[in-house]
Amino acid sequence: MEIVEITWIDASKTAHEADIKTAKEQECLEAKTVGYLVDKNNKRVVLAMTEFHEIEEVHYLWVIPKGMINKITKLTASD
């Protein structure tokens, strides 16, 4: 599987109360996530954080909606 870095705009939430002025000032944050590219289509990209090649299994999935993605960069391994 390819290893990629996805640059995307993450949704956010707060777990505390906020006044209206503070709520209106909230912004989305750009995030970068690196993982094994499991699949992608016109709706989403699926990354796995861990791959078990011998048993064809992946763990710790990220499913990122395509509309939130700004860039996908293929990474190369360095020794």
Residue 26: closest CA among 38, 18, 37, 34: 18
> Tell me, what's the pLDDT at 42?
97
Residue 50: closest CA among 38, 39, 40: 38
> Tell me, what's the pLDDT at 38?
97
Is residue 20 domain-resident? no
Is residue 46 domain-resident? yes
Is residue 18 domain-resident? no
Is residue 63 domain-resident? yes
Is residue 57 domain-resident? yes
Report pLDDT digits (tens) over 24-59.
988 899 999 999 999 999 999 999 999 999 999 999
Q: For residue 60, what is the domain's CATH number?
A: 2.30.30
**1, 51 in Cβ contact below 8 A?**
yes
